[in-house]
Structure 1
């Protein structure tokens, strides 16, 4: 089975980008581990089934560090001049470094602390909707789903208001994935801007610390030497990026999915208490990461009876596994009342998404407030014309809607 021919994930095909799940289903039915070619032309071993994916996410033989990859093209997708510093973030490290880095920020994302942010997130949400409610139309990505999490994570870290658009644009250039590999010159230029900006921001926090997470990290760096300067920069970069892009996709996809399923939209309007479960179902049904989470084999390993060679990229297909009929009954049906919804959208094990409580809260507040404040909400475009991001971070690029104008 290790000699199987890889299946190309056809990112150049608009039909696949709009709905990859028929191909995912076929791959899962073909076997538990399938060779695929993903965005950028990279070869990977896709784990397609839930139980195997759950086990793989906790398997210490599978590394998060791209330096364990045998394919030299993978690290080349990172900015050349800053490759080592970008690999210092906790997403791309393993214990003991991962344990140390995660401990530094874990208290900022506990469920209790995040719950205390609810009033401020609600205020930001209402402020964004105040601008569009009188108009009766909006792009719920550009006008709402994008600025909401950017504002929240910026306030948490202490990023000044007038500097947020710049880091968002640099991040988009670095993370954009499509049919072809990213242009190294574009990635390098964006990272150089980002590095210079973060260095200046850290300097400002050293000179004038505030009551924010970044000031706390700078203090930990300077007083306790608990992380290096490169680790500090990489940590701030990760928190800014991870703190917004996947949440943008969660909110945008959640609203788009409801508009495509009017029975579920009506059910949620009638019973807002279903919101927490609805957000979990959006994450399972069409999560913000697709097809899944990358790891790299430290040694020759066997996954579900399939031999995977050392250095191979193992793609744990959370989006594929979250529709595994062995784990989720009737998995291709959206059901916001679904029980026992232990999806893999946030990962599992030591790398389980640190920001999951914040993403969940933002998703619940954002989607719930839209349904409450925008009566008559309807898509203002052909559903087949809604463009999705073609790479591993999945979500609508825009979501034009109309609704009944309000005062």
Structure 2
């Protein structure tokens, strides 16, 4: 097993993946592959040496993600070819809480906890929390850090309220550190990554039941109280569900909120338009989801049988990766794809994937982004205090996140 510091030696001339584009600037490799490569391009994992297929075109991504012969569950199986340095699970755990919930007959509980009723339960609180955080920054009238002082606390506090129950600040900070250690391509060793997943699992073995019992209408409580054919979920299964909620609720939401903030502040004319006409906010949320890159890797699917993809034969057992970021910037699907346009028309974006595994948390995520956009639009004097290219980013994370977002009025 190679570490996150040690790259496996790729085959001669093979393109290694990921492309180390940790900021909002997508690697030019995506454009070159889309323009000159086959629909599914062969690449090699930089960290394991595994041979993989990479999809960067919109039409091909639709084909792969809507074809049931490409399986997400199979792509998470132990020993499967992968892009990541380590398997994304604590040793001895299953690492697929969605399948666990489905088998326990709790898929409907998950859907309700992330669905329209959940949004209605939490929407006003999330909007008020965003306003409270922004007002505290407004009162200072000096240079502030929108990442540390707005986006990260909004994401963490919203995740505690909607997903995990009442976590203390120290617990939120520790879970964030473990997620950042485990969910990364480089900068730490494989041993550190595996230990982070193991530590998180031990934490939830000890505390998931307590968190499930804290006040409020959050998903962990609903899952813990729901009956199954064999009774309620045991501690091991509940811990795995909680670990899924950390991954779904922390690095993705905080990273995307940071990126979306930068996108908005790079376009003050859009913020002014939103301030004048709040009816544009839903469209702005969708365009942010298309325009703003989040993942530095790709969504994985494993072929369960031989499949033809635009003339390429993907053999059973091989893994196809779809870069949602590249697909969302495909000029064959989106006119002037690198522009941020409030009134954009066109096909659906891939911000939450596509097909059978469309992100179940998309409504709550939209609610959180909506709250951020509304708060920023009510403060059109907010500006980046540095040029966008001067913003520094965490290197190696699965989900892009800046070290800070200096801003002022």
Task: Please confirm whether the aligned pair reaches a TM-score higher than 0.5, indicating the same fold.
Answer: yes
Q: Does 1:183 align with 2:192?
A: no
Compute the TM-score of the two structures, normalised by the length of structure 2.
0.85
Partner of 2:8: none
Equivalent pair of 1:347/1:353 in contact (CA under 8 Å): yes
Partner of 1:55: 63
Partner of 1:7: 15
Equivalent pair of 2:114/2:360 in contact (CA under 8 Å): yes
Equivalent pair of 2:329/2:337 in contact (CA under 8 Å): yes
Partner of 1:376: 381
Equivalent pair of 1:250/1:282 in contact (CA under 8 Å): no
Equivalent pair of 1:4/1:35 in contact (CA under 8 Å): no
SS at match of 1:35: strand
Specify whether residues 242 and 185 from structure 1 end up closer, same or farther in structure 2 by C-alpha distance, changes over 3 A only. same
Q: Does 1:164 align with 2:172?
A: yes
Structure 1 residue 308, shift from structure 2 partner? 1.9
Q: Does 1:77 align with 2:87?
A: yes
**Runs (5+) with no aligned partner, structure 2:** 1-10
Q: How does 1:100-249 map to 2 (within 5 A)?
A: 100-136=105-141, 137-156=143-162, 157-162=164-169, 163-178=171-186, 182-204=188-210, 211-220=217-226, 225=231, 227=233, 229-249=235-255
Report how many residues are paired.
391
Specify whether residues 72 and 122 from structure 1 end up closer, same or farther in structure 2 by C-alpha distance, changes over 3 A only. closer
Q: Does 1:263 align with 2:269?
A: yes
Instruction: Please give the root-mean-square deviation of Cα atoms over the aligned residues, in Å.
Output: 3.0
Return the match for 1:44 from 52, 63, 74.
52
Q: How does 1:263-302 map to 2 (within 5 A)?
A: 263-302=269-308
Distance in 1 (CA, whole Å) between partners of 2:18 and 2:321 is: 16
Specify whether residues 6 and 313 from structure 1 end up closer, same or farther in structure 2 by C-alpha distance, changes over 3 A only. farther
SS at match of 2:378: helix
Deviations 1:364-404 (A, max 9, x none): 1112202313x42221223212233444322433211111x
Structure 1 residue 106, shift from structure 2 partner? 0.8
Specify whether residues 290 and 278 from structure 1 end up closer, same or farther in structure 2 by C-alpha distance, changes over 3 A only. farther
Distance in 1 (CA, whole Å) between partners of 2:345 and 2:354 is: 19
Structure 1 residue 120, shift from structure 2 partner? 0.6
Compute the TM-score of the two structures, normalised by the length of structure 1.
0.85
Partner of 1:67: 77
Specify whether residues 269 and 69 from structure 1 end up closer, same or farther in structure 2 by C-alpha distance, changes over 3 A only. farther
Deviations 1:267-309 (A, max 9, x none): 3333222111111111111232245311122233221211223
Structure 1 residue 313, shift from structure 2 partner? 2.2
**Runs (5+) with no aligned partner, structure 1:** none
Deviations 1:158-178 (A, max 9, x none): 133342222122111111223
Equivalent pair of 2:113/2:218 in contact (CA under 8 Å): no
Distance in 2 (CA, whole Å) between partners of 1:287 and 1:294 is: 17
Specify whether residues 264 and 44 from structure 1 end up closer, same or farther in structure 2 by C-alpha distance, changes over 3 A only. farther
